[in-house]
Structure 1
Amino acid sequence: MRHIAKKNGVSSKSCGNITLKPKFSNEKTKSTSYTVKHLFVSRRMVIRTLVMAYLWFVCSFSYYGLTMSAGHLSSSVYSSFALSGLVELPSYIISAILINRHWAGRRRTLMGMLLLAGLFCLCIMFMKPSPDGSFSTRMGFALGGKITVSAAFSIVYIYATELFPTVVRNVGMGTSSVCARVGGMLAPLVISLSDIGASIPYVIFGLVALVGGFMTSVLPETLNQPIPDNLEDVEMDGAGGRYQPNHPSHD
């Protein structure tokens, strides 16, 4: 400080004795360790946790199910898998555009994609397979389901990070990811039901996607909204998920 005073043309005597107070004391501060149980501390957190866990399950379950069943819809396994992978590119572009539009946002886009995915899958049971194994309407609806569920899968990653408060975000994302892995493991088992009925797997994929779409309606919109830092911020949510954080913002 005396060196600074000298450089500024101020007499060091005017500074007197300067004692710098440490910002942090040596005393151990109490820190809260957040675990899975903190995801269920309130009604709103329970709803967010359970709905988001189911949405991750649905997206993974339907995504891998439609991917692995693509070879059953055409005589050419290679072309079927190629088309199934190719349609993912426009799905990511479409979802990236829609989630940042105020009239769509995260919630409406995710809900719309899951509902469309469910309808596409359910429509397959009314379509007859092509006699010669070529591209058919059945394959077209399956690709429509793949596009929409791929878009939904990309959205839940963003949506989950904005819904879970900072203090439990890693725990919430980890829990949701576990549910997604369960969905991925069950998908091949459901596909094996095609030995009983060719449309049974698509009916199951469609129904779980429709349920997920309707469940999304209970979640708040997070587009252009402050991200919750702690569990108290979630309880301060107003209509549509809008709240004022209990800490000052820095512009």
Structure 2
Amino acid sequence: MNYLIKYLLLLIPAFFYSKAFTQSKDLVEKENELIALNSKIDYKLRLALSKGYDSTSYNSVDHNVAVFEQAFTHLITSDPNTIDYPFNKLRDSSICVVTTAADGKMRVYNLNSWQLLTQIYQWKEKGKVYTKVTRNQKDSILLCREIYAIPVNGKRYYLPVTSTIIWPSHAMQSVAAWRINGNSLEPVTLFKNKSKKQDHIEVPFSFYNFAPKIKDSLLAFISYDNLQKKVYIPCVNEKGLFTQRYFIYEVKDGCLELTQTGPHP
């Protein structure tokens, strides 16, 4: 009997390793299929451009872009193992930006090729994985740059930092505070200043920050110092240009409270 128990104990980890390897292999194949479809779209677009205006060729491109978006969305929303998969090929091909919180419990996918407007939120709690699919505005770019996981009074909150550009006139950085509650993401009024509490902060800025000779440019993003427990929100001047100063929010009394303005250390 003892030998049988020892044998079974050896089989159990081997079974789980085999299962994990199979799941990873499946996702590798799915990612390769998406890469191949992306290459097909690129080929058909170049073919359409070489023919001048040809509605049939452009319709074929549009069809394959829709197929790509549907396939990717279905993969993320139907397979919970995707939350732990790196998607390195999609990221290296600039097809999709994947942003993951340090604790691995929240992700944001931004499809940023072929003028796709899909953004997918993915999170896990108590062994289950959930998703939320959103679509951005037309003629816009919305990109999650970072997700900070911040503990406050023993609870963990997630702060996605997003850059938004809506052509031709609107540009903004923003940070929101969310809490995972089962199958939903709940906004939390975590930010506090002298006059109010709010669940997000927006920083509109000028496109002139893109000018090559502007010193304080788009490097000045909203950031979080994990050691000091401080969030830095960049200040802009009356022309919408970034300055060297920040609004500094600190973890204090169960919230992120605005305590001072000053330079980023």
How high is the TM-score relative to the length of structure 2?
0.24
Q: Which has the larger radius of gyration?
A: 1
Q: Which has the higher strand share?
A: 2
Q: Which has the higher helix share?
A: 1
Bigger relative contact order, structure 1 or 2 (CA pairs below 8 A, ≥6 apart): 1
How high is the TM-score relative to the length of structure 1?
0.25
